[in-house]
Amino acid sequence: MRDYDALGLKAGIEIHQQLDTAEKLFCHCPTVLREISERRGEFQRYLRATGSELGEIDRAAREEMRLVRKFCYYTYDTVCLVEHDEEPPTPMNPEALEIAFTIAKMLGMTPVEHVHTMRKVVIDGSNTSGFQRTALIALSGALPGGCRVETICLEEEAAQRVEGDTFSLDRLGIPLVEITTAPCMRNPEEVARVAAYIGMVLRSTGRVKRGLGTIRQDINVSIANGARVEIKGVQDLDLITEVVRREVERQVNLLEIRDALRERGARVDQNVVDVTDLFSGTNSSILKKARSILALRLCGFAGLVGREIQPDRRLGSEFSDYAKKCGVGGIFHTDELPAYGVTAEEVARLREHLGAADEDCIVIVAAGKERAGCAIEQVMTRARMALEGVPEETRKMLEGGSTAYMRPLPGAARMYPETDVFPVTIEPGFWESIPVPELLTDRAARFVSEFGLSEDLARQVAFSERLPLFERAVAAGVRPALAARTLLATCRELARDGVEVDRVTGDEMLALLSAVEAGRAAKEAIPEILTELALTPQESGMTPEERVDAAIRRVAPAVSAADVEAVVRRVVAEREGFARERGMAALGPLMGVVMKELRGSVDGKVVSEALRRELERLIS
Amino acid sequence: MIDTLRTGDLVRYTVNGKTALTGVYITERDGMAVIKLESGYNIGASPEKIEFIERPAARPPAAAAAVAQNPDLPELAILSTGGTIASRVDYRTGAVMSQFSAADILRVIPELGGIARYRDHQIASILSEDMQPALWQNLARAIYDEIRAGVEGVIVTHGTDTMAYSAAAVRFMLRTPVPIVFVGAQRSADRPSSDNAMNALCSAAAATSDLGEVAVVMHATTNDDRCAIHRATRVRKMHTSRRDAFQSIGIEPLGCVDYPSLAVSLSGEAVRRGAQEPELQDSLEERCALLQFYPGMPASVLEAFEGYAGLVISGTGLGHVSSGLVPGLREMIEDGTTVVMTSQCLNGRVCDRVYNTGRDLLAAGVIEGEDMLPEAALVKLMWVLGNESDPERIRRLVQTDLAGEMQRRSIP
| Model pLDDT, residue A128 | 97
| Model pLDDT, residue A52 | 45
| Model pLDDT, residue A583 | 84
| Model pLDDT, residue A522 | 80
Give the SS3 label for residue A558: coil
Residue B1: pLDDT band (50, 70, 90) is low
Q: Any chain B CB within 8 A of the CB of A413?
A: yes
Give the SS3 label for residue A599: coil
Instruction: Give the pLDDT confidence of B295-305 residue by residue, as tens digits.
Output: 999 999 999 99
Q: What is the mean pLDDT of residues B387-405?
A: 97
Instruction: Give the pLDDT confidence of A347-371 residue by residue, as tens digits.
Output: 999 999 999 999 999 999 999 999 9
- Distance CA(A320)–CA(B296), nearest Å, equals 75
- Distance CA(B314)–CA(B344), nearest Å, equals 5
Residue A61: pLDDT band (50, 70, 90) is low
The stretches of A399-505 forming alpha helices (DSSP H) are 428-433, 440-451, 455-463, 467-475, 480-485, 491-496
Residue A558: pLDDT band (50, 70, 90) is low
Residue scoring higher pLDDT (A236 or B311): B311
Q: How many CA atoms lie within 13 A of B272 on its CB side?
A: 5
Instruction: Give the pLDDT confidence of B249-286 residue by residue, as tens digits.
Output: 999 999 999 999 999 999 999 999 999 999 999 999 99
Q: H or E stretch including A270?
A: strand A267-274
Whether B237 is catalytic is yes
Nearest Cα of chain B lies from the Cα of A133 at a distance, in angstroms, of: 11
A-chain CB neighbours of B262 within 8 Å are: none
When scoring B43, B88, B186, B198 by the number of chain A Cβ atoms within 10 A, the one with the most, hence best to mutate, is: B43
Nearest Cα of chain B lies from the Cα of A471 at a distance, in angstroms, of: 38
Q: Edge-to-edge strands of the sheet including A70-75? A: A41-46, A70-75, A166-168, A160-163
Q: What is the mean pLDDT of residues A452-456?
A: 91
Query: How many other C-beta atoms are found inside a 10 Å radius of the C-beta of residue A239?
Result: 17
A residues 65..84 contacting B (CB < 8 A) = 70, 81, 84
| Model pLDDT, residue A54 | 33
In chain A, the percentage of residues whose pLDDT exceeds 70 is 95
Q: What is the mean pLDDT of residues B236-245?
A: 98
Q: Mean pLDDT across chain B, nearest whole number?
A: 94
Nearest chain A alpha carbon to B241: A87
Residue A412: pLDDT band (50, 70, 90) is low
Nearest Cα of chain B lies from the Cα of A316 at a distance, in angstroms, of: 34
In chain B, the percentage of residues whose pLDDT exceeds 70 is 99
Whether B380 is catalytic is no
Residue among A81, A115, A423 whose CB faces B29 most closely:
A423
User: Residue A411: is its pLDDT beyond 80?
Assistant: no
Q: What is the mean pLDDT of residues B47-73?
A: 87
Q: Mean pLDDT across chain A, nearest whole number?
A: 90
User: Residue B397: is its pLDDT beyond 90?
Assistant: yes
| Model pLDDT, residue A556 | 67
User: Residue B399: is its pLDDT beyond 90?
Assistant: yes
Residue B386: pLDDT band (50, 70, 90) is very high
Cβ separation of A53 and B62 shorter than 8 Å?
Answer: yes
Q: What is the mean pLDDT of residues A556-573?
A: 80
- Interface predicted TM-score of the whole assembly (ipTM), two decimals: 0.93
| Model pLDDT, residue B277 | 97
User: Residue A59: is its pLDDT beyond 60?
Assistant: no
Instruction: Record the pTM.
Output: 0.85
| Model pLDDT, residue A600 | 63
Whether B161 is catalytic is yes
Q: What is the mean pLDDT of residues A305-320?
A: 95
Instruction: Give the pLDDT confidence of B178-217 residue by residue, as tens digits.
Output: 999 999 999 998 888 999 999 999 999 999 999 999 999 9
Instruction: Give the pLDDT confidence of A135-182 residue by residue, as tens digits.
Output: 999 999 989 888 999 999 999 999 999 999 999 999 999 999 999 999
| Model pLDDT, residue B284 | 98
- Distance CA(A490)–CA(A530), nearest Å, equals 9
Nearest chain B alpha carbon to A137: B43
Q: Any chain B CB within 8 A of the CB of A576?
A: no
**Using H for helix, E for strand and C for coil, what is the string for A200-267?**
HHHHHCCCECCCCCCEEEEEEEECCCCCCEEEECCCCHHHHHHHHHHHHHHHHHHHHHHHHHHHHCCE
Q: Any chain B CB within 8 A of the CB of A540?
A: no
B-chain CB neighbours of A151 within 8 Å are: 39, 41
Whether B160 is catalytic is yes
Nearest Cα of chain A lies from the Cα of B163 at a distance, in angstroms, of: 19
- Distance CA(B223)–CA(B198), nearest Å, equals 11
Instruction: Give the pLDDT confidence of A500-523 residue by residue, as tens digits.
Output: 888 888 999 999 999 888 878 888
Question: Active-site residue among B36, B81, B104, B160?
Answer: B160
A-chain CB neighbours of B260 within 8 Å are: 46
Query: How many other C-beta atoms are found inside a 10 Å radius of the C-beta of residue B124?
Result: 16
**Residues ≥6 apart with Cβ < 8 Å to B115:** B73, B201, B204, B205, B208, B262
